[in-house]
Each structure stands twice: as structure tokens, then as C-alpha cells.
Structure 1
Amino acid sequence: MKNPPAKPAQLITKEFAKQLNVNYNKKKAASVTGKSKKKEDANAIWYSLEALESYIHYIKTNGAKEGYNVDGIRFYFGTYPEDEAHGEKAGLTTLFLVPTGKKVESNEDQLKSFALVEDETPADIQSLSPMNYGNIGRPPSLVY
């Protein structure tokens, strides 16, 4: 490879990742006590590269159309409602993605140019749809 990609600054060790997963599993197991239905909850969510690339393309393209500089994706944990409409996922953990960015405005008054001025700190972009419904890694639960 001529130009290998730069090593991301957010990488963690495999050992620390394993400890994070163990901590999550212990905390989640402790919070499930007393439930009448014993369902094994998700402890991992998987999205295909194609789905992630498609979502990134969607948020960048539509974000730009709405005047945003899309700068990231925030990952939120959630729990499906306890109702029949959600079938086997009812009451279980999910992970959904929300685009973040800054509203960009053109400033024509500044030397009659179209310089971009960012007026907000990165925030969730409420006008773009979040992404959900990854594969929840069960059964059985995955352990890192």
C-alpha cells in the first residue's frame, strides 16, 4: 500500500475493550433483576459497512442541502418499548445513530465573498433521520 491510512487517535487496547464489555455486561445483568420475562439482552450491535457508508452518504448529502457541515455521528443507547409491536425486541437494548454538525451560513457582507461562517457548536441534527436496526448479536450474546 502506497499511503496507508493514519492510525486513529481514538484506538484503545483490546484488553481495555474487553474490560469495558465485561463492565457493561455486569451492570446490565444487575439492572435486569426482577423481570418476569427472562430475555437475553443485546450486548453488541453490528452494522454492515454498506449500511454505515450509505448512512454517512445520506447524512452528508442531506445535511449539506439543509445547510449543515456534518462533522460526526453520535451513538445513543435506547430500549425498545414493552409492546407487541416490537415483537422479540420489546424491552431490549438498541443503539441508534444521529448525525451531528454545525449550521453553516454564507456571509456576503464580508468583502463580498462567500466565506463560510460557523455559528453553532456541533449538535445533533434533528432534521435528519437517525439510523437504527443493526444486528443485535444474540442469541447468544457476544463477548468481546
Structure 2
Amino acid sequence: MKKEPGRPNQLITKKFAKDLHLNFMKYRAGIIAKYIKKEDANAVWFSVEELENYIHYIKTKGEKTGYDVKGIRFYFGVYPDERKYAEKAGLMTLFLTATGKIKPKTLNTTGIQTFASVREDENADTSASRDDDNADISTIEPMNYGSIGRPPSLLY
């Protein structure tokens, strides 16, 4: 028998979600559209399968490379205004990146330190540390390319 998931603490009412979206449309969308001279994306969609796969991927890769993956940060971005991005060119997007911290090194049964692939020298390509649970893990690839909601804008 599957255990029913707990109710997340971050849930909001549908009315508050609608208010948040209307505030975006009222206070940001018009300014952006005026500046870029076109209507911008106002939503990004990922399937549950894509999100579950990304979560599994970052947990697995984190485990293999010595990171304790604690979360996902969502960043806003803008696609380059280039032909290869087709209808997304110049429009806002949302991308995800793993966050967490470096696991403490431990000795395995052979006396060899584990997580040797985590580089701690000054040239290391990571912002994660042993102390910050929420640092971006730059050695795990971010995820992008959800479907964007743009003209006509999606309304919540």
C-alpha cells in the first residue's frame, strides 16, 4: 500500500495564485512588452514526467559526484534573439538548477576517500560548499526547454 504524500506547507489558494499572476500581468508584462516591442512569455510548462526525471537525474548525479542535492532553484532567463530559437527567440524562459552542498568525505572499507571527483581547489567549477544547503551545484546541468505560454498570453 502506497503511503499518501503529506500536504506541502507552500500551498496557496487558487485566488492568491490568480492575484499573483494578475500582478505580473499588470506590473511587469506591459513594461516588458513595451521594452522588447512584443508580448513576452508569461508561463513555462514542464510535464510531470520531465520534472520527475530531472529530480531523479540530479539526485543520482549528485550522489555519484559527492553532492547532497537539497533542492531546485528556478531562474528566469531570455532566449537569444537568434533564428535557431524560432518562436522562443528573445522571449523569457525559466530554467532549473540543482542546489545542495558537498558531502563530507568519508573513508570506504578499503580506506579510500569517497567523492574524490568533487574538486575543492580554487579553480573548482562549483558554487556549492559544505556549509550552504542551498548553493547552486554547477557541476550538474540545468534543465530548460519547457513549453512557454505566450501570445495569446495564458491567464491563470
Give the alignment's TM-score, normalised by structure 1: 0.83
Task: State the SS of the aligned residue for 1:106.
Answer: coil
Structure 1 residues 2 and 119, CA, compared in 2 at 3 Å: closer, same or farther?
closer
Match among 126, 131, 138 for residue 120 of structure 1: 131
Mapped to 2, the partners of 1:34 and 1:53 lie a distance apart of 36
Counterpart secondary structure, 2:87:
helix
Taking only the aligned residue pairs, the percentage that are identical comes to: 56
Structure 2 equivalent of residue 4 of structure 1: 4
Please tell me whether residue 53 in structure 1 is matched to residue 52 in structure 2. Answer: yes
Q: After TM superposition, give the deviation of residue 30 of structure 1 in Å.
A: 1.9
Ranges of 4+ aligned residues in structure 1 off by more than 2 Å: 1-4, 137-140
Question: For the structure 1 residues 3 and 85, does the alpha-carbon distance in structure 2 shift closer, same or farther, using more than 3 Å as the test?
Answer: closer
Aligned to 2:93: 94
Change in Cα spacing, 1:64 to 1:34, as seen in structure 2 (3 Å) is closer
- Superposed displacement of residue 91, structure 1: 1.0
Aligned to 1:66: 65
Change (3 A) 1:106 1:92: same
- Tell me the amino acid that sits aligned with residue 31 of structure 2: A
What residue identity is the alignment partner of 1:19?
Answer: D
With over 3 angstroms needed to count, the CA separation of the structure-2 counterparts of 1:4 and 1:125, relative to structure 1, is same
Q: For 2:62 and 2:3, how far apart are their aligned partners in 1?
A: 30
CA shift in 2, pair 1:64/1:41, >3 Å = same
Please state whether the residue corresponding to 2:103 is helix, strand or coil.
strand
CA gap of 1:70–1:2, structure 2 versus 1, over 3 A, is closer
Helix, strand or coil at the partner of 1:70: strand
Q: Give per-residue Cα distances to partners, 1:1-59, cap 9 Å, x unaligned.
A: 874321100111111111110111121212321545x3x32111110111111111110
Aligned to 1:111: none
CA distance in 1, matches of 2:142, 2:9: 26
In structure 2, what is the Cα distance between the partners aligned to 1:62 and 1:72?
A: 14
Supply the distance in 2 between the matched residues of 1:120 and 1:127 (Cα, whole angstroms).
17
Q: Distance in 2 between matches of 1:3 and 1:65?
A: 28
CA distance in 2, matches of 1:2, 1:105: 33
Question: Number of paired residues?
Answer: 135
Does the 8 A contact of 2:66 with 2:102 survive in 1? Answer: yes
Distance 1:83-1:54 versus aligned 2 partners, 3 A rule: same
Contiguous gaps of at least 5 residues in structure 1: 109-113
RMSD value over aligned CA atoms? 2.2
Q: Are residues 55 and 90 of structure 1, via their aligned partners in 2, closer, same or farther at CA, if it must alter by over 3 Å?
A: same
